[in-house]
Copies of this chain bind each other. A is one copy, B any other.
Amino acid sequence: MSKQNIPLSIPNIRGNAWKYMKSCLDTGWVSTAGGYVEKFEEKLAAFTGARHAVAVVNGTAGLQVALRLCGVEPGDEVLVPTLTFIAPVNAVRYLGAEPVFMDCEGYMNLDPVKTGDFLAGCRRTPRGLVNKKTGCRVKAILPVHIFGNPCDMEAIMALARRYGLKVVEDATESLGSRWTEGKYKGRHTGTVGDFGVFSFNGNKIVTTGNGGMLVTADKKMAAKAKYLTTQAKDDHVRYVHDEIGYNFRLSNLQAALGVAQLEELPAFLKTKKANYEVYHRGLEGIPGLTLLGVPAGTAPNYWFYSLVIDKKVFGLDREGLMAALAADGIQTRPVWQLNHLQRPYRGSQAYKIERAGWFWQRVLNLPCSTSLTRAGALKVCSAIRKVWNA
C-alpha cells in the first residue's frame, strides 16, 4: 500500500503478536496442540461476558454450526436481514435451509416491527411455527449487528420467546459493542441470543488472519460446538465419529495472534470512537451528508463509519463521491448488494423490503482502520469538503 493512500480497514498488528507467534514456531505448536486456542477462548469470554467460547476457523463456519445447534434442518426457514454481508445467508443454505429476507430499521439492522408482522402471519403447529406461504417451519432469527451498531435485541428476543424461535446473533462486526441502558445494560452483543458469533477476518477490529468465535451461555451446546468443529471425534485414538463434523478448528498459531490482538482491543475501541468523533465534527454542516448515528442506550464498537448521502442536497450521489475520494487515494465502500437480489436468493421470500434499498443507494463507508490517525481522518473530511465545494 502506498503511504499516501488511506485504506478502508486494514489490520493493526502490534503489542505481543510476534512474541506469542514466535513461541508457537519455537515450540512447533502451530496447529491443534499448544494452549493459545484455550487462552483465546477464555480471554474472549472474559471480555464479552460470554459464559462459553469456542474458537472456529471463521465467522461463516461459526454461524453454520450455531444454526445447526439451533436444530435448523433441511427445509426449515431462518429469518435474516437482506442488508448484510452474504455469509450468514449462505450459512443457512449450507444446512439445506432457506432464508426469509427481512427489511432493516433506521440503523440498518433487522427491523423487529416488520419481523413481528411477518411472524404474526405464521401459523402455530405441533411441529413449530409454519410460514403459511411456503408451508415450511420457521426455526430461527439471525440478526446481524451491522457495522457494529447493536440490534434491538429486546424486541427480537421478545419475538423469539413469543413464537418459540431460536436466535443466533451475528456479532461478526460488533466485537466490543454493548448496551448501556435497558434490559441488557452492560451486556455485549453476541451474548444475548442462544448463540453469538464473532469474526477475526482481516478487516475486523481485531484479526487472526481469518478466524472466528462462537459463544453461548449453554455449557452443553458449547461442548457440542467444540465436538462438531473438530471433526466430531468420539474416540480420538480410534477415530470413531458418531456425527458428521467439520474441520472448523482455529490453529494455535492464529489463536496466539488473537490473544495479542485482544490485549489491544480496549485501545482499538478508543481509537474507533475518537475517529468517529473526528468525522462527526469534520463533516458537520455539509448539506446532504449525515454520519449514521448510534442507537440509544448502546455503546457500539464503531467498526464502520457510514455516511448517508442525500444526492439532491449534496449534489453528488454515492458513486460520485466514492470515485472522487478514490482519486484522492481514499478507499471507501458502498454497502453490500441486498441479498434478496443476489442471484442464488432471488427465489427466496423477501418480506416488504423498503428501507434496505434506501440505505443501499445512499451509504458510503469511510476509512476506519484502528491505525487511522486523527490527521488521516481529518484528511478524509477535507477531501469530502473539497468535493462539496467543487
Contacts and interface: CB of A to CB of B under 8 A. Distances in A.
Interface string A7-22: 0001111000110011
A56 B201 CA distance: 15
B235 A31 contact: no
Contact of A31 (B26, B87, B201): B201
A206 to B, nearest CB: 11
A94 B250 CA distance: 20
A238 B202 contact: no
Interface string A82-120: 000111001001101000000000000000000000000
Contacts of A243: 343-344
Classify the interface of chain A: helix, strand, loop or mixed: loop
Interface in A236-273: 237-247, 249-254, 257
A32 interface: yes
A11 B251 CA distance: 13
A239 B25 contact: no
A252 B247 CA distance: 19
A96 B93 CA distance: 11
Interface string A29-64: 111110000000000000000000000011111000
A30 B209 contact: yes
B22 A18 contact: yes
A86 to B, nearest CB: 5
Contact of A85 (B201, B239, B249, B337): B239
Contacts of A337: 235, 238-241
Contacts of A33: 10, 202
Given A242-B342, A337-B240, A254 B257 contact: no
A21 B18 CA distance: 9
A17 B28 CA distance: 11
A333 B233 CA distance: 15
Contact of A209 (B58, B201, B238, B254): B254
A202 to B, nearest CB: 2
Given A10-B28, A25-B21, A242 B202 contact: no
A209 B333 contact: no
Contacts of A249: 210
A202 B32 contact: yes
A207 interface: yes
Contact of A247 (B12, B61, B93): B61
Contacts of A12: 28
B59 A30 contact: no
A250 B371 CA distance: 24
Contacts of A210: 31, 57, 247, 249-251
A102 to B, nearest CB: 18
Interface in A202-243: 202-203, 207-210, 231, 235, 237-243
A329 interface: no
Contacts of A203: 31
Looking at A18, A239, A240, which has the most chain B CB atoms within 10 Å of its CB?
A239
A57 B251 CA distance: 11
A358 interface: no
Given A11-B29, A243-B343, A253-B254, 20 more contacts: A11-B28, A11-B30, A12-B28, A21-B21, A31-B209, A58-B247, A59-B247, A60-B247, A85-B239, A86-B241, A87-B247, A208-B251, A209-B251, A238-B337, A239-B337, A240-B337, A241-B344, A242-B342, A242-B343, A243-B344
Interface of A: 10-13, 17-18, 21-22, 25-26, 28-33, 57-61, 85-87, 90, 93-94, 96, 201-203, 207-210, 231, 235, 237-247, 249-254, 257, 333-334, 336-337, 342-344, 371
